[in-house]
Structure 1
Amino acid sequence: MPKAPVTLCDDENVRSNFLASFTAKEADAIMKKVDNRFLVLIGLMYMIKQIDVNNAANVKVLQVGEPTNILTELNMSTNQYNWVQSIYGIAYILFETPSNLVLKRMSPHVWQARIFFCWGIIVACHAAVQNRHALYALRFLLGMFEAGMFPGVIAQLAAWYRTDEMGRPVAWFFTIQNTSNIVGSLLCYGISYMNGVGGLSAWRWVYLIEGIITIFFAGAVFTILPDYPKSPRSNAWLTPREQEFIEVRLPENAPLTSDPFFSAKEIVASLRSPLIWSFMLSQMLVNFGNYALTWYLPTIVTNLGFTALPKNQLLNIPPAAAAIGGLIFSSWFLGKAYIVRPLYIMFIMTGMVVCFVLFFTLDSRIGIYIACILGTTFTSSYFIPFWAWRTATLRGSTGSAFTLGFQNAIGQVGTVTAPQLFQQKWAYSGYKQSFAIAAAGTVAAFFANLWTWWLTRNTEYDVMRVRRLIRQAKKEGKVFHGDDVKVFEERGFFDGLRKRSDVEVAVV
């Protein structure tokens, strides 16, 4: 007979005693189970998503200048093709929040599998388009069916991982995702040799093959993806005591299995908080610069003329490889808690600004390619500390789902507008004007992040403080069971910009 689930009251002493009953080795073993269930799977989920989204940029330069190039076959100009990404982003904005609010009621494994299955069908249908209007329609449907996948995973992870350790799952998420640029480029390179097979152009084969892979992957998501720590689905691989441990160790604001499917109060509270608007502005402006680079990177590399077609696809690999290195470093660095996460973001943002300035000031082909590598590294590294930082102030299941969905939706305004920077009228200068505008957006993002840091300075210092205590307890073979991060009534570590002394801060 399985043991009944351990039920803990709200008494802090009961919580502390329960956590103290675990050794560091036991805690690591439990969280390793969680890691094994989540990390590789969510990374593959995001990798496939990015391949299916970014393939529009890659196929643009397949057989470029030849009759079988997508622009030639569909009789599209460069300016018209830019709308392929923008229309996708518009649909994403419209459907992101509603999709995330359905996540808990439908259960994550069912909803995410539905997302993958539907968008796989849409991707495969790209192979049949005969004009730009059909392509636009499918890109809108792709954005609609993909909406909710990314913020849904982040909202779900917040129910399993503490905010101070979110850097690890998010790092896996983005590290494996960044291999999408490598995998996507290799796929396009290999499929380019299928040009004309079965009477289909290479770009049509790209969409058909990637769509079929996505459809089959939906089955893996349905079978493997967990729901919540105390969901019936977790009983097969976690004991009741382990399930209790996972939830009890979370900060006070974390979403729980027992939370209601929907709470209007949590939505209203999210909308009233300045944090949702500051984080949203930060994300939107960073996306503006990031997607300007992501969207035009294959074209930049091709125009540098280092190699002939189709080997130009292979030059997309070094930027992706460098980004993976940056992500691995970020995950390691955040786990050490040397500095607060917003300060680390400021260093990354500085690098991003410098790289975008290089795009519109350099004329050297080698210099521009190096800027591509560094720019991709910095923009990719940004999102690990950013999403870990964002989870520290989420509140409840509905509040988390709504906040992440709404923020990510409006943040996609950057992805809608970025491709429109690359108008044909600016091609003569290598789109220096375009990258100058993207650089201005990145500078604005720097100050938006400073504002967000100001609003969260007490909570973020608390997160760093507790993370250091957790690391110290682990060295002693124990599980931290002291006073945790305070979110609802945050501790006042700062008086304006002045850091208060330990005597002034009541850490009970």
Structure 2
Amino acid sequence: MVTDLEKRTLRKVSWRIVPFIMLLYFIAYIDRVNIGFASLTMKSDLGFSASILGFGAGIFFWGYFLFEVPSNIVLHKVGARMWIARVMVTWGIISACMAFVTGPTSFYIVRFLLGAAEAGFFPGIILYLSYWFPARHRAGVTAFFMAAAPISTAIGSPLSAALLEMNGVMGLHGWQWMFILEAIPALILGVVVFFYMTDKPEKAKWLKEDERNWLVGVMNQEAASRAGSAKHGILSGLANPRVLALSLIYFGTSAGLYTLGIWAPQIIKQLGVSSMTVGVLNAIPPVVSIVAMIFWSRHSDRTGERTWHVVLACVAAAIGLVIAAMPSSVVGLIAALTLVNIGISCAKPPLWTMPTMFLSGAAAATGIAAINSIGNLGGFAGPVMIGWIKDQTGSFSGGLYFVAGLLVMSAVLTLLLARSQKSPVTPGNATAH
């Protein structure tokens, strides 16, 4: 039974934390995928092929991969407030440097450094949420946080398209202005994080004493209930076979997410519409997916079921990619991309509730970071394969089929993981669903 104290405390914590971390992720995601819009003009200005563009967009995730686990270990030790502030200021500076790339080599270097700078942000926030929200509420909260990605696409698409129209202002290309201006919020928010964010409930002076005591007690009780079976050490988080399985599942969903973020503008552009129209059309699918993701995640929390909520969402996204690969009208393509957006957005929140059910402490920090860093290599594989296949065949179809196959792999692995576990990977249940 939910008490008035629980409702009051979680409402206050939610309003304090969730909108703010959504804003941070909103900025992070724009800086991560605005290369997709920049490429509409940057590609011809610098003479980039689709393969160069795909490789440069994807190499971001190798920087992410190499520095993700160390970054999350540091965050666990020094606290989210200090480390997230450092991450944001660093990535803001490097993101602005994208405006000054002159060829493939500088493009690859800056994208790699951007990934290294941003490493630790996303898994750090996932870990941070596990400090503040009981497991039964976590998928819904994670959904709101992750809604920032489709929201950033919905708002960032027309914004990025508009910034491209600044071509020639002060002698700079439109894509250069886009990188510079869209990097500024990360620098500002990095400073705000340092003064606004609270590391753990014990330090939350903005909670009343009874609220703080209740939350600390509940989170400590959850930690104690996992003490017998949860893994705590750094190596435990890296060596756990469920971490590897979840990493591969996340690989497929990441390939789908960054296929949309990086290539959707060009896929729409090939239908012969203007860059501004691309910005408007590209904003439609994520708007629909936000509503679907929140509904789906709340249903997952209410039922305590995770596995099928991931599986069905991955299958839906794969079907959408197959439809998008076929010759279509503007309406048909946007409908297909909407289905892809819904599937990928709905899969991620229930998926991210799983690691903290069998990992805690330093193992949670390393395990979550490992899942995110390995899984996000899908953000390299998807865009790179699409660019390479586009250069070889002149079409996006083969690459979209490839990414659809990765999402089917994610669905199958989720089922195999659930059936292979005797201990729970879902909250509130004795066995995995």
With normalisation by structure 2, the TM-score equals 0.92
Letter in 2 for 1:177: A
Q: How far is 1:185 from its partner?
A: 1.0
The residue that corresponds to 1:270 in the other structure is 237
Structure showing greater radius of gyration is 1
Instruction: Kindly state the Cα deviation for residue 456 of structure 1 after the two structures are TM-superposed.
Output: 4.7
Equivalent residue for 2:211, pick from 230, 237, 242: 242
Contact conserved, 1:178 with 1:323, CA < 8 A, in 2? yes
Question: Residue 304 in 1 paired to residue 268 in 2?
Answer: no
1:187 CA drift (Å): 1.6
Query: Is 1:150 aligned to residue 119 of structure 2?
Result: no
Instruction: Report if the CA contact (8 A) 1:280-1:410 is conserved.
Output: yes
CA contact (8 A) 2:60 2:115 kept: yes
Measured against aligned partners, the alpha-carbon deviations of 1:326-352 in whole angstroms (never above 9, x if no partner) come to: 122123322322x61112222212212
Deviation at 1:312, TM superposition (A): 1.9
User: 1:147 and 1:272, CA in 2 relative to 1: closer, same or farther beyond 3 A?
Assistant: closer
- Which whole-Å CA distance do the structure 1 matches of 2:220 and 2:326 have between them? 47
Please state which structure has a larger fraction of its residues in helix: 2
Query: What residue in structure 2 maps to residue 450 of structure 1?
Result: 415
* Cα distance, 1:153–1:399 mapped onto 2, change above 3 Å: same
Q: 1:105 aligns with which of 58, 69, 77?
A: 77
The offset of 1:52, in angstroms, is 0.2
1:209-246 per-position Cα deviation (integer Å, ceiling 9, x unaligned): 01112111112211211101113xx2x21244433321
Matched letter for residue 191 of structure 2: G
Number of the residue aligned with 2:33: 54
Question: Cα offset for 1:267?
Answer: 2.0
Q: Give the C-alpha shift of residue 419 in structure 1.
A: 1.1
**Does 1:411 find its partner at 2:375?**
yes
Residue 325 of structure 2 aligns to a residue in which SS? helix
Structure 2: stretches of 5+ with no match in the other structure: none
**Does the 8 Å contact 1:37/1:226 carry over to 2?**
no
Assess if the C-alpha contact under 8 Å between 2:21 and 2:145 holds in 1. yes
Contact preservation (8 Å) 1:334, 1:385: yes
CA contact (8 A) 1:100 1:148 kept: yes
In structure 2, relative to structure 1, the CA distance for the partners of 1:27 and 1:58 (3 Å cut) is same
Asked if 2 retains the 8 angstrom alpha-carbon contact of 1:275 and 1:455, the reply is no
Q: Are the structure 2 counterparts of residues 291 and 190 from structure 1 closer, same or farther at C-alpha, using a change threshold of 3 Å?
A: closer
* Contact residue 165 and residue 335 of structure 1 kept, 8 A: yes
Q: 1:413 to 1:253 in 2, by over 3 A?
A: farther
Could you tell me how far 1:85 is from its partner in structure 2? Answer: 1.6
8 A contact 2:237–2:362 mirrored in 1: no
Match of 1:504 in 2: none
Measure the CA separation in 2 of the matches of 1:353 and 1:252.
40
User: Is 1:214 aligned to 2:190, yes or no?
Assistant: no
Q: 1:351-430 to 2 correspondence within 5 Å?
A: 351-395=316-360, 397-423=361-387, 426=390, 428=393, 430=395
Contact 2:311 2:412 in 1 (8 A): no
Q: Distance in 2 between matches of 1:187 and 1:112?
A: 25
Distance 1:142 1:425, change over 3 A: closer
Q: Is the CA contact 1:357–1:439 (under 8 Å) kept in the aligned structure 2?
A: yes
Shift of 1:291: 2.3
Structure 1 pair 457/186, CA: closer, same or farther in 2 (3 Å)?
farther
Return the offset for 1:203.
0.3
Work out whether residues 122 and 142 of structure 1, in 8 Å CA contact, stay in contact via their aligned partners in 2: yes
Change (3 A) 1:455 1:248: farther
Structure 2 letter corresponding to 1:291: Y
Specify the alignment match of 1:139 in structure 2.
Answer: 111
Between the aligned partners of 1:446 and 1:27, the Cα distance in structure 2 is 35
| Residue 287 (structure 1) aligned to one of 254, 264, 274 | 254
- Taking the TM superposition and a 5 Å limit, the aligned residue runs for 1:31-180 are 31-61=10-40, 69-180=41-152
Asked if the contact 2:54/2:388 (under 8 Å) is kept, the reply is no
Q: For residue 298 of structure 1, what is the amino acid of its counterpart?
A: P
Determine the C-alpha separation between the residues in 2 that align with 1:177 and 1:38.
17
State the alpha-carbon separation in 2 of the partners of residues 272 and 73 from structure 1. 46
Relative to structure 1, the CA distance from residue 449 to residue 320 in structure 2 (aligned partners, 3 Å threshold; closer, same or farther) is same
- The structural deviation recorded for 1:272 is 4.0
Local SS of the residue matching 1:184: helix
Q: Is the 8 A contact 1:159 1:247 kept in 2?
A: no
Q: Deviations over 1:167-214 (max 9, x none)?
A: 222111111332110221122122123111111111000011011121
Secondary structure, in 3 states, of the residue corresponding to 2:212? helix
Shift of 1:407: 1.5
Residue correspondence of structure 1 range 221-232 to structure 2 within 5 A: 221-231=193-203
Corresponding position of 1:6: none
Aligned with 2:358: secondary structure? coil
C-alpha distance in 2 between matches for 1:102 and 1:312: 40
**Following TM superposition, by how much is the alpha carbon of 1:95 offset from its aligned partner in structure 2, in angstroms?**
0.3
8 Å CA contact retained: 1:82, 1:422 = yes
- Length-normalised TM-score, structure 1: 0.79
Could you say if the C-alpha distance between residues 124 and 361 of structure 1 is closer, same or farther in structure 2, counting changes exceeding 3 Å?
A: closer
Say what the alpha-carbon RMSD is for the aligned residues. Answer: 2.4
Deviating runs (4+, > 6 A) in structure 1? none
The alpha carbon displacement at 1:316 in A equals 0.6
Structure 1 pair 364/251, CA: closer, same or farther in 2 (3 Å)? farther
Distance 1:272-1:139 versus aligned 2 partners, 3 A rule: closer
SS in 2 for 1:238: coil
Distance 1:104 1:239, change over 3 A: farther
Q: Tell me, in whole angstroms, the C-alpha distance in 2 between the residues paired with 1:253 and 1:85.
A: 40
State the distance in 2 between where 1:399 and 1:460 align.
16
State the distance in 2 between where 1:361 and 1:207 align: 33
Q: Indicate whether 1:331 and 2:265 are aligned.
A: no
Residues 1:194 and 2:171 are matched in the alignment:
no
Tell me by how many angstroms 1:265 deviates: 6.0
How many residues are aligned here? 428
CA separation in 1, counterparts of 2:379 and 2:50?
17
Quickly say closer, same or farther: Cα 1:158–1:437, change in 2 above 3 A: same
Distance in 1 (alpha carbons) for counterparts of 2:66 and 2:244: 17
Whole-Å Cα distance in 2 between the matches of residues 367 and 398 of structure 1? 47
Output the CA distance in 2 between the equivalents of 1:194 and 1:412.
32
